[in-house]
Amino acid sequence: MKTEKKALIVAAACAAFVALGDAPAPAEGAPRESIMFIGAHPDDSEGFAGLAFLLKDKYDLHIVDFTRGEFGLGKAGFLDGSTGRIRTEEEKAACAFLGATPHFVGQKNSGPYDSMACADSNAVARICELLAEIKPKAVFTHWPVDSHPDHVMTAAATYVALRRMKCRAEFYYYEVLLCQTRAWTPLYSVDISSVIDKKAEMLRKYACQNKNDELAQTKIKQAEKRGAERNPPVKYAETYTTFNGKPMPNGILANLPETVVVSPAAEVPAAK
Ligand SMILES: [Zn+2]
């Protein structure tokens, strides 16, 4: 008994230590369930980083990039391959900060010079492979109505892969910039006020896309807008929806204390 008690005290002390730091909770004992976030470009975690920080202590997180954002710094960096390398390293740093595992599908950022990200058989096969390996409890990807073709292709390939694998994972959509995600009707609003600083810090890891802190500040403002749309309002929120636009009882979002269902009929101003 004495030894057991001592072990319990040590375990409690370790847990308290972990809770104070940024490291993920120890994965001792039974394997934890996993969540997959699939985005077109490294910095698309702008859409779900707040939620990811709320989930990180309970789930293993995986971030899947459809492309490496090869066209994010213009022509020269696209042609010599340097932008893809820079953004890959940035994604690895962001994932390390969050405590997630990065993966890459291998499509190339749309742009000129014959580059076009595509939901082709290679892309679908790679996502199927990741689904089989990770066996996620939930998959999040771009809402498919979007001004950026790479976001559209990512959503399409994810949907096809889920169907092909007859995957039973919970399936959600997130929004990215207001000028990209279109015809967006949020179903869930998640209060991310407790983790907004961590989200902003994570977005700053995508340094080449965050000139003058623009990406971080834009997303803070968007979270403020989404927070203000809740009734009662919260300081910062992210919004999500499901494939059929209906709530998923006992799903990971429904079970989060930070989540409320916002009625599709709510007066949500259209994205600019
Ligand atoms: Zn993107």
- Topology, domain 32-261: Rossmann fold (3.40.50)
Give pLDDT, residue 111: 77
**pLDDT < 70 stretches in the chain:** 1-29, 112-114, 263-272
d(CA 109, CA 88): 13
CA distance 201 to 69: 20
- Could you tell me the distance, in angstroms and rounded to a whole number, from the CA of residue 150 to the centre of ligand 1? 7
Cα–Cα distance measured from residue 115 to residue 167, given in angstroms and rounded to the nearest whole number: 30
Dist. CA 47 → ligand 1 center (Å): 9
Q: What is the pLDDT of residue 272?
A: 52
Residues around the ion ligand 1 (C-beta < 5 A)? 40-41, 44
**CB–CB of 180/148 below 8 Å?**
yes
- Ligand 1 midpoint to CA 210 (Å): 13
Q: Ligand 1 center to residue 254 CA distance, Å?
A: 26
**157-208 pLDDT, tens digit each:** 999 999 999 999 999 999 999 999 999 999 999 999 999 999 999 999 999 9
For position 76, what pLDDT does the model report?
A: 87
pLDDT at 133: 98
Q: Measured in angstroms, how far is the CA atom of residue 145 from the centroid of ligand 1?
A: 13
Domain boundaries, the chain: 32-261
pTM: 0.86
